């Protein structure tokens, strides 16, 4: 049996990668799972959650899948991408997919564009239709400062393990990403030492790459990457 584990991002939940998970379930007979990291999901409860708890939960999910699968694929989005890379450095993974991985964070130039757009929509009375405002308005008010520190700790910890990744890897990144600078994908291409690497940049995609306009292309690209026979 083939197992495919998807890991969502910081302050998010399974919905961030659900279109991709649904596509893989529809086109394969794999065991596709998307666990919810501690403190995450529909109702955020991040006050007393540590980065080690996120890592442990993801690793437990992987170990459970290892018990029943003879082939393993890992897919991680944003912070989940860093967790997936960390797990790939420690376990025998067949293929790894990193979607907007948070190796670096906050593209201040793109963030400024998004804020300006929200302000303009506010003056026009269209703020409720602004996707940037709608997605982040509640999170800005609900995320504890110490939870953000745990996020930074996770990124700093997991990136040390990037050179240990050996599995074939696909890295996909949106060039309009306001949270993770798109050049992060190019840095990862150098840091990860896998012999088989592929980097794809989407011109119009933002951070929520699985939910954007390019999602159909992304879904097919990930499927093709995971199902093509290894050349090694």
Higher pLDDT, 130 or 17: 17
Nearest to 19 by CA among 72, 75, 61, 57: 75
Residue 141 has pLDDT above 80, yes or no: no
Domain ranges of the chain: 2-106+145-227
**Which of 25-34, 109-118, 165-174, 218-227 bottoms out in mean pLDDT, i.e. has the lowest?**
109-118
Contacts of 154 (CB under 8 A, 6+ apart): 51, 54, 55, 79, 82, 83
Residue 189 has pLDDT above 70, yes or no: yes
The pLDDT value recorded for residue 176 is: 84
- Residue linked to tokens 């992060």: 184
Higher pLDDT, 184 or 136: 184
Nearest to 153 by CA among 207, 88, 79: 79
Nearest to 100 by CA among 132, 74, 76, 78: 78
Contacts of 12 (CB under 8 A, 6+ apart): 40, 77, 78
Residue 38 has pLDDT above 70, yes or no: yes
* SS3 category, 202: strand
pLDDT band at 139 (very low <50, low <70, confident <90, very high): low
Tell me the per-residue pLDDT of 99-134, one tens digit each, with 9 for 90 and over: 999 987 654 344 445 445 545 555 666 656 555 555
Nearest to 218 by CA among 31, 22, 33: 22
Nearest to 83 by CA among 52, 43, 42, 44: 52
CB 48 within 8 A of CB 20: no
Burial class, 124, CB count within 10 angstroms (exposed 0-12 / middle 13-18 / buried 19+)? exposed
**Which of 7-16, 59-68, 138-147 bottoms out in mean pLDDT, i.e. has the lowest?**
138-147
Tell me the per-residue pLDDT of 190-205, one tens digit each, with 9 for 90 and over: 899 899 999 999 988 9
Q: What is the mean pLDDT of residues 39-54?
A: 94
What six digits make up the tokens of 127?
Answer: 């703020």
How far apart are alpha carbons 178 and 42 in whole angstroms?
22
What six digits make up the tokens of 81?
Answer: 């991408």
What six digits make up the tokens of 177?
Answer: 């990403």
Distant-in-sequence contacts of 140-145, Cβ < 8 A, 24+ apart: 142/44, 143/11, 143/44, 143/46, 144/46, 144/47
- In the chain, % of residues over pLDDT 70: 82
The pLDDT value recorded for residue 171 is: 96
Q: What is the mean pLDDT of residues 45-70?
A: 96
2-106+145-227: CATH topology: Rossmann fold (3.40.50)
Higher pLDDT, 143 or 71: 71
Max mean pLDDT range (148-157, 160-169, 201-210)? 160-169
- Residue linked to tokens 């003879």: 70
Residue 34 has pLDDT above 80, yes or no: yes
Summary mean pLDDT of the chain: 86
Residue 80 has pLDDT above 70, yes or no: yes
Q: What are phi and psi of 134, to 5 degrees?
A: -65, -40
């Amino acid at each position: 049996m083939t197992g495919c584990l998807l890991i969502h991002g910081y302050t998010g939940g399974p919905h961030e990668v659900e279109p991709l998970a649904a596509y893989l379930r529809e086109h394969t007979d794999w065991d596709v799972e998307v666990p919810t990291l501690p403190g995450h999901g529909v109702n955020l409860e991040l006050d007393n959650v540590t980065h080690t708890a996120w890592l442990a939960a993801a690793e437990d999910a992987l170990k459970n899948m290892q018990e029943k699968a003879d082939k393993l694929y890992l897919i991680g989005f944003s912070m989940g991408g860093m967790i997936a890379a960390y797990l790939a450095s420690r376990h025998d993974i067949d293929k790894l997919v990193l979607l907007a991985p948070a190796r670096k964070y906050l593209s201040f130039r793109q963030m400024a564009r998004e804020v300006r757009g929200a302000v303009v929509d506010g003056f026009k009375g269209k703020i409720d239709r602004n996707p940037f405002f709608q997605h982040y308005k509640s999170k800005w008010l609900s995320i504890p400062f110490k939870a953000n520190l745990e996020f930074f700790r996770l990124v700093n910890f997991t990136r040390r393990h990037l050179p240990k990744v050996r599995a074939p890897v696909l890295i996909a990144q949106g060039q309009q990403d306001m949270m993770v600078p798109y050049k992060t994908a190019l840095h990862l291409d150098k840091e990860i030492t896998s012999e088989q690497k592929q980097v794809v940049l989407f011109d119009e995609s933002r951070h929520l790459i699985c939910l954007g306009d390019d999602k159909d292309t992304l879904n097919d690209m990930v499927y093709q990457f995971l199902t093509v026979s290894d050349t090694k």
